[in-house]
Amino acid sequence: MKRISVIDSHTAGEPTRVVIDGGPNLGAGSLSEKLDIFRKQFDRFRTAIVGEPRGSDVLVGAVLVEPSDPSFTAGVIFFNNVGYLGMCGHGMIGVVRTLAHLGRIQTGEYRIETPVGIVVVTLMEDGGVSVENVPSHRRMKDLTVAVDGVGSVTGDVAWGGNWFFLTEDHGQQLELANAETLTQTAWRIRCVVNGSGYPEVDHIELLGPPKTPGANSRNFVLCPGKAYDRSPCGTGTSAKLACLAADGKLREGEVWVQEGIIGSTFRGSFRRESESIIPTITGSAFITCEAELVLDDADPFCWGIRAEGNVV
Ligand code: PYC
């Protein structure tokens, strides 16, 4: 039997499972080398940790690794039901809360390394967490695509630690009760955007008017594995800030309150850095579970239910 210690949390409703012990040995290279080893040699750990029957499509996993610079607090690789994420905003807030829960950090500022760059996190007195994200930018304004069953859709392509297509032009009500239709709409849009010269776009962000007083916007974010983000999506909010900054619709330091599809919110703001912006996203996470995953070799689904077949 193999055992993997994890701590689960949720950030604005979106779950994160942080591996504390028993994860794969990813060597001593850079974060991107570690990610490469994870992907090529230890992918079964990904499906064992977040996949069914132990996890679900919604769950984002995080493995803590040695950072390349000892002055950083940690390195972290995020993963989900279909692969690996560059950065993950809700996940980073969950990681920070988890490190605090373990007594490894107190209130203050810390640097955490991800495969796409260093983020600066702050654990606040009230338990809130802010994440100064990797440089973000808009790559393409007003891309118009013709989507079967949806019609003509215009939106922007932007990087916020993952790649997004962001659109208000979807014709849907952003209601939780509408999640199935929103998922189908976003998936169709993604397929066409991917085939229109943007294969890197793996998150679709549908935007619309907010419901929560004080919020600026509401979103529905479809993740790469077809699960929708229960939170307002930290990297998606960063991509939105990059578009607002590029359009001159939000000033440096001004606060943008992004509401997600379940009504939870993140606060975002940015500062400019050359051609990019540096977004800061603030939210809260709560610990939901401390557990040991048990991997029994006799279990045919020991390494999760994998689309390409089970690993023995
Ligand atoms: O918060 O950045 C985020 C995120 C990405 C995918 C799920 N959550």
Asked if pLDDT for residue 15 goes beyond 60, the answer is yes
88, 223, 243, 302: the catalytic one is 88
Residue among 68, 71, 125, 62 nearest 98 (CA): 62
For residue 232, the ligand 1 atom closest to its alpha carbon is 1
Sort 147 into a burial class: Cβ within 10 Å, 0-12 / 13-18 / 19+: middle
Cα distances from 12 to residues 162, 206, 229, 299, in angstroms, run 19, 18, 10, 34
Ligand 1 mean position to 191 CA, how many Å? 20
User: Looking at this protein, which amino acid is placed at residue 131?
Assistant: V
Supply 269's token pair.
């703001």
Let me know if 88 is a catalytic residue.
yes
Q: What residues are in contact with ligand 1 under a 6 Å CB criterion?
A: 14, 60, 85, 88-90, 162, 223, 229, 231, 233-235
% the chain with pLDDT above 70: 99
Let me know if 223 is a catalytic residue.
no
Q: How far is the C-alpha of 126 from the C-alpha of 286, rounded, in Å? A: 12
Q: How far is the C-alpha of 232 from the C-alpha of 212, rounded, in Å? A: 13
Q: Answer whether 67's CB lies under 8 Å from 31's CB.
A: yes
Asked if pLDDT for residue 311 goes beyond 70, the answer is no
Asked if pLDDT for residue 308 goes beyond 90, the answer is no
Place 111 in a pLDDT band, splitting at 50, 70 and 90: very high
Q: How far is the C-alpha of 61 from the C-alpha of 47, rounded, in Å? A: 10
Q: Over range 279-304, report the average pLDDT.
A: 97
Ligand 1 mean position to 245 CA, how many Å? 21
Place 307 in a pLDDT band, splitting at 50, 70 and 90: confident
191, 223, 233, 289: the catalytic one is 233
Q: Over range 165-186, report the average pLDDT.
A: 98
DSSP codes, 155-205: EEEEESSSEEEEES-S-----GGGHHHHHHHHHHHHHHHHTTT-TT--EEE
Supply 47's token pair.
């499906």
Q: How far is the C-alpha of 166 from the C-alpha of 183, rounded, in Å? A: 14
Whose CA is closest to atom 5 on ligand 1? 88
Ligand 1 mean position to 1 CA, how many Å? 32
Cut 0.85: pTM above it: yes
Residue among 202, 222, 218 nearest 210 (CA): 218
Ligand 1 pocket test, pick from 81, 112, 221 with the greatest ligand atom count within 8 Å of Cβ, gives 221
- Output the pLDDT for position 312: 53
Mean pLDDT of the chain: 97
Place 306 in a pLDDT band, splitting at 50, 70 and 90: confident
- Output the pLDDT for position 41: 97
Q: Over range 126-132, report the average pLDDT.
A: 98
Q: Answer whether 113's CB lies under 8 Å from 67's CB.
A: yes
User: Looking at this protein, which amino acid is placed at residue 73?
Assistant: T
Ligand 1 pocket test, pick from 134, 204, 231, 266 with the greatest ligand atom count within 8 Å of Cβ, gives 231
Supply 167's token pair.
């659109």
Q: Answer whether 281's CB lies under 8 Å from 89's CB.
A: yes
Q: Answer whether 165's CB lies under 8 Å from 193's CB.
A: yes
b (16+ CB within 10 A) / e for 32-49: eebbbebeeeebbbbbbb
Q: What are phi and psi of 244, to 5 degrees?
A: -60, -40
Higher pLDDT, 178 or 312: 178
Of the candidate ranges 36-50, 215-229, 296-310, the one whose mean pLDDT is the lowest: 296-310
